[in-house]
Amino acid sequence: MTRPLNIHYFQHVAFEGLHSIEDWIKDNNHKLSSTKFYLDEKLPEIEDIDWLIVMGGPMGVYDEDKYAWLKAEKEFIAQAIDQNKTVLGICLGSQLIAEVCGAKVYPNKQKEIGWFPIQLTDSGRDNFLFKGLPEDLTVFHWHGDTFDLPRDAVRIAETGITKNQAFLINDKVLGLQFHMEVTGKSIADMLIHCKSDIVPGDSVQTAEKISEMRKYFNENNRLLDQLLNALAELTVK
């Protein structure tokens, strides 16, 4: 049993929140706070947090001219990493971490939208955080950008289209391009707000196909809980 953690999260749009992660936080009696940039909320004091979770969004890391808060957000992420905080980035969050750590972020050759399998690398299979995860795991994707592997990072998971699906730096900083936190409601919201992204192809499923594949929700949420438990254990060691 780990001690209660002070967990702060960054949210970029109203429809991409913590989703199943919030349930895990409540179930484990951790303390939760947030900065919702779309509401112009303030950043926390860095010394008040143990974890920083950076969620997704439809914008790109390079959109500072459209979203003025991106610059301050990147500076805070860099500060959190420098101060050895645990940092988890999901989708856009992983891209922001990658850029802060010196990697190039750019449009991928294809979008990945829908339920597709990722493959753990040898490093992923051997890492404490990912023990118990299947080597081929079907997860939810909604991304058009990708990035080079950040400095000091280990590649954890990949697909044929996106080489860097997950990375880990010093067992403290974790980037996931995919979404294991999704619920039926969160996917329905994404299908409403980002429907223009869906141009069906080999790596983009139709809205109907995405909605049909509900069987993956519970397993993804359960495995994410397992991953978060392991990350929490490392935090308090």
**Pair 155, 115: CB distance under 8 Å:** no
Instruction: Break the chain down into helix, strand, coil percent, rounded to 5.
Output: 35, 30, 35
Which DSSP symbol is given to 173?
Answer: E
pLDDT digits (tens, 9 = 90+) for 80-132: 999 999 999 999 999 999 999 999 999 999 999 999 999 999 999 999 999 88
Q: Three-state DSSP class for 61?
A: coil
**Pair 198, 190: CB distance under 8 Å:** no
Q: How many CB atoms lie within 10 A of CB 132?
A: 9
Confidence (pLDDT) at 1: 54
- For residue 129, give the amino acid letter: L
Q: Give 6's strand partners.
A: 31
Which DSSP symbol is given to 179?
Answer: B
Joined together, the tokens standing for residue 211 give 């909605």
Tell the burial category of 65 from Cβ atoms under 10 Å away from its Cβ (0-12, 13-18, 19+). exposed
Return the residue matching tokens 């954890």.
156
- For residue 4, give the amino acid letter: P
pLDDT, one tens digit for every residue, the chain (237 residues): 578 999 999 999 999 999 999 999 999 999 999 999 999 999 999 999 999 999 999 999 999 999 999 999 999 999 999 999 999 999 999 999 999 999 999 999 999 999 999 999 999 999 999 988 888 899 999 999 999 999 999 999 999 999 999 999 999 999 999 999 999 999 999 999 999 999 988 999 999 999 988 889 999 999 999 999 999 998 876
Q: Which structural domains are found in the chain, ordered by start?
A: 6-236 (3.40.50.880)
Residues with active-site annotation: 91, 179, 181
Confidence (pLDDT) at 237: 61
**84 to each of 54, 55, 229, 236, how far by Cα in Å?**
16, 19, 18, 12
Joined together, the tokens standing for residue 80 give 């959190």
Angstrom distance (rounded) from CA 51 to CA 212: 34
**Pair 64, 39: CB distance under 8 Å:** no
Helix 69-82 vs helix 92-100: crossing angle, to nearest 10: 70
- Residue whose C-alpha is closest to residue 223's, from 153, 131, 158: 131
State the number of CA atoms in the 13 A half-sphere of 129 facing the CB. 25
Angstrom distance (rounded) from CA 209 to CA 56: 22
Q: How many CB atoms lie within 10 A of CB 113?
A: 25
Helix 217-236 vs helix 20-27: crossing angle, to nearest 10: 50
